[in-house]
């Protein structure tokens, strides 16, 4: 089985102080650590487990600058066979649709049975690149997948729904799945593992290599353009309501009515 995995390098903002940069359209990333997008780490692990079970190859793609090589080499150290980077100044500012177009054109002429992406990216949370890419490539897709069963030329995908529900979808191969966290336990990548793949070539492709025109990618090819980024305003804090249960209930009702929460 030939599997292609699309990954993204993202900043780690979990325990960091966040500041807006001078442009007002992004956060200041100068002091932040970067790593492989969490959802993508589960996708690459799932691909490698499928390869170990069924044979075949795992190829990793990332749309980003040269610093994306760090995350691509991490995937190689985990067990991927090849890695490619999609880099071009024309790609700057691409929204989810334009990013999907870049990835789809890079994949279109490559043989594949299955494409895996993370359900979403930690930095923008759009959750749209995978499904848009599937439509562009004309292959079936299943999103938010938390278990995979391969049945000859079909995939039975278990997908997570709201309220703890699960849906089972069967699709023909080739197909695209967006992978949810928790589907597996991503393997640890040692420093020695990174060193072993340090000299492996990671080819880079630009817009012309993919037969893409500048107006089809980046800001020009995006329907969504970011106007500004801002931190949420600090509120006045919580209002503590005291009294007997029936008094508290009445006060809560009055607040909801005054705020338009109930008629």
Tokens of 81: 């066979």
What's the total number of domains in the chain? 1
Q: Is residue 221 part of a domain?
A: no
pLDDT attached to residue 263: 65
Confidence of residue 157 (pLDDT cuts 50, 70, 90): very high
Q: Is residue 244 part of a domain?
A: no
In the chain, % of residues over pLDDT 90:
67
DSSP string, 21-38: -TTSSSB--TT--EEE-H
Q: Is residue 30 part of a domain?
A: yes
> Are the CB atoms for 199 and 87 separated by under 8 Å?
no
Q: Is residue 258 part of a domain?
A: no
In 10 A of CB 219, how many CB atoms?
Answer: 16
Its sign, for the CA torsion 142, 82, 47, 173, is positive
Q: Is residue 192 part of a domain?
A: yes
Q: What is the mean pLDDT of residues 216-222?
A: 90
Confidence of residue 13 (pLDDT cuts 50, 70, 90): confident
What phi-psi label fits residue 83: left (phi over 0), alpha (psi between -120 and 50 degrees) or beta?
beta
Who wins on pLDDT, 29 or 176?
176
Structural domain for 141, as ranges: 2-216
Q: Is residue 230 part of a domain?
A: no
* Location of structure tokens 């995979």: 148
**pLDDT tens for each residue of 177-211:** 999 999 999 999 988 988 999 988 999 999 999 99
**pLDDT tens for each residue of 104-115:** 999 998 999 999
Q: Is residue 227 part of a domain?
A: no
Q: What is the mean pLDDT of residues 126-143?
A: 95
Q: Residue 203 forms beta bridges with which residues?
A: 84
Check whether 46 has a pLDDT greater than 70: yes
Q: Is residue 249 part of a domain?
A: no
**pLDDT tens for each residue of 48-80:** 999 999 999 999 999 999 999 999 999 999 999
At 140, which CATH number?
3.40.50.620
């Amino acid at each position: 089985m030939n599997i292609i995995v699309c990954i993204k390098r993202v900043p780690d903002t979990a325990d960091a102080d966040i500041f807006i940069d001078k442009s007002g359209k992004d956060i200041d990333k100068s002091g932040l650590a970067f790593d492989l997008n969490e959802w993508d780490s589960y996708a690459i692990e799932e691909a490698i487990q499928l390869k170990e079970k069924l044979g075949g190859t795992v190829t990793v793609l990332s749309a980003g600058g040269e610093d994306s090589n760090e995350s691509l080499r991490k995937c190689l150290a985990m067990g991927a066979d090849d890695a490619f980077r999609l880099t071009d100044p024309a790609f700057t500012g691409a929204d989810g649709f334009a990013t999907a177009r870049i990835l789809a054109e890079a994949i279109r002429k490559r043989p594949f049975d299955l494409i895996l992406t993370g359900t979403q990216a930690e930095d923008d949370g759009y959750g749209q690149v995978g499904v848009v890419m599937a439509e562009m490539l004309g292959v079936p897709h299943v999103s938010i997948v938390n278990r995979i069963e391969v049945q000859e030329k079909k995939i039975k995908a278990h997908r997570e729904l709201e309220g703890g529900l699960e849906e089972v979808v069967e699709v023909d191969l080739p197909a695209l799945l967006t992978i949810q966290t928790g589907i597996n336990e991503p393997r640890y990548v040692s420093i020695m593992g990174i060193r072993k793949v340090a000299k492996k070539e990671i080819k880079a492709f630009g817009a012309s290599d993919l037969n893409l025109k500048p107006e089809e990618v980046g800001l020009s090819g995006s329907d969504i353009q970011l106007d500004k980024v801002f931190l949420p305003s600090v509120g006045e804090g919580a209002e503590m309501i005291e009294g007997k249960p029936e008094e508290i209930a009445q006060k809560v009702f009055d607040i909801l009515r005054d705020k338009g929460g109930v008629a």
